[in-house]
Amino acid sequence: MPGSIRGWFGEGPGPKGKERRKKMITIIASALVCLSLFNNVHTAEGRTIILAKPGDDVNLPCRLKPSDDAVFGGLGNRISWIKVENDVEVDVLLSMGVHQVEYERFKKHVKLLKADENDATLVIRNLRLDDFGIYKCEVVEGMDDVVNEVEIKMHGVVFPYQPNLGRYILNFHDAEVACSEQDAVLASSEQLHQAWKGGLDWCNAGWLSDGTVQYPINKPRVPCGGKVPPGVRSYGRRNKTSRFDAFCYTAGYNGEVFFVDQKLNFTEAVQVCENKGAELAKVGHMFAAWKLKGYDRCDAGWLADGSVRYPISRPRMKCSPTEAAVRHVGFPDKKHKLCGAYCYRVHQ
């Protein structure tokens, strides 16, 4: 067998390369059976979630559990990292002893941290949009096998916004102000694309920070661009006096969102939050609590913009039965004692 990287790992990610690599792994695994009398141990770790943003350097943890048992000579560990994309496994990195290869788009983009002999942490430098998603690590040492899953999610949440006067009334400047009032900013095209990959489906077009107007569709239907493949539909750059909705982005918050279970009108809702050392939550607070912290409550409540909403992370009958979502009841008359209040308190 050649001593080069390609000799060890095959000719890259194509079918032939993968077949050669599988044969190599089979041969080595057979050798391990001959060299070891240890019991086969398989450890399936829970999925680790990493929140990051484009441009970050991230470490995807993976470790072999320390053992006092002898390892199999000088062959070393086999470390394999793959990325799961649309149920297809894409090779990222494969390492065995002194031999290591990064595949295709991951070349010079990833490396192993190797903090110690049990460390198989993958380092991804200058995170790109196509780096977000689910990764699997497999470490084989002797007959010990560790499989670990790590998911990189974009930190923050993108949410659609329209004010109480209805659909398509915001010019570009109005959209910037509307997002700011909800503790957010206009989302970028990249952030909307990542949100679409995460399942965002919205049939109203909205302003983005670069002056384009777009909307994300995961469930194609006739009123939303026709029955064409899912994607982010774009109207391109528009005159900034044109009127659409807005897509806002918030990175999260340093506080807590909580519900006050009383029948209140809007003025009373503001007051009850103030009495608790808080303020009426903004739409950005609600979406961040729902998306980033899994907030789930099947009670409609006032928010600071005069809307009534409730967050559902666990879909169920009578509480958003088909999908996890922040449900929008509407903008009712503020004088009516309709519902409770969602308050936001900053952590000191």
CATH of the domain at 118: 2.60.40.10
Helix residue ranges, H only, 263-305: 266-275, 283-293
- 139 plus 53 within the same structural domain: yes
- 26 plus 38 within the same structural domain: yes
Residue 274 CB partners (closer than 8 Å, separation 6+): none
Last residue of a domain, one of 119, 153, 187: 153
Question: According to the model, what pLDDT value does residue 297 have?
Answer: 98
- 12 plus 145 within the same structural domain: yes
- 148 plus 163 within the same structural domain: no
Round to whole Å and give the CA distance between 87 and 74.
35
Tokens at 264, concatenated: 């209140």
286: containing domain: 255-346
- 221 plus 268 within the same structural domain: no
CATH code at 223? 3.10.100.10
Round to whole Å and give the CA distance between 83 and 91.
6
Q: Which residue from 247, 251, 249, 219 is spatially nearest to 234, judged by alpha carbons?
A: 247
Last residue of a domain, one of 202, 227, 250: 250
How many angstroms separate the Cα of 222 from the Cα of each of 83, 215, 217, 229, 256? 33, 14, 11, 12, 40
- 301 plus 178 within the same structural domain: no
Number of domains in the chain: 3
Question: According to the model, what pLDDT value does residue 75 have?
Answer: 52
Question: According to the model, what pLDDT value does residue 252 have?
Answer: 81
Round to whole Å and give the CA distance between 179 and 285.
12
- 172 plus 235 within the same structural domain: yes
- 260 plus 246 within the same structural domain: no
Looking at residue 47, the DSSP 8-state letter turns out to be P
Looking at residue 129, the DSSP 8-state letter turns out to be G
- 146 plus 23 within the same structural domain: yes
- 270 plus 132 within the same structural domain: no
Round to whole Å and give the CA distance between 266 and 303.
9
Q: Which residue from 172, 179, 175, 150 is spatially nearest to 287, judged by alpha carbons?
A: 179
Phi, psi of 113, rounded to the nearest 5 degrees: -70, -45
Question: According to the model, what pLDDT value does residue 69 have?
Answer: 56
Tokens at 331, concatenated: 């903008």
- 140 plus 272 within the same structural domain: no
Question: According to the model, what pLDDT value does residue 170 have?
Answer: 98
- 69 plus 131 within the same structural domain: yes
E-assigned strands of 155-228? 157-161, 185-186, 206-207, 212-217
Round to whole Å and give the CA distance between 60 and 297.
32
Q: Which residue from 55, 103, 107, 112 is spatially nearest to 79, judged by alpha carbons?
A: 112
Strands 78-85 and 88-96: antiparallel
List per-residue pLDDT tens for the chain, 348 residues long: 333 333 333 434 444 444 444 433 333 333 333 333 233 333 334 688 898 877 889 999 998 876 655 444 335 678 999 999 878 999 999 998 888 999 999 999 999 998 888 889 999 999 987 898 899 999 887 666 778 999 998 789 999 999 999 999 999 999 999 999 999 999 999 899 989 988 999 999 999 999 999 999 999 999 998 889 999 999 999 999 999 999 999 988 889 999 999 999 999 999 999 999 999 999 999 999 999 889 999 999 999 999 999 999 999 999 999 999 999 999 999 999 989 999 999 987
Last residue of a domain, one of 153, 187, 215: 153
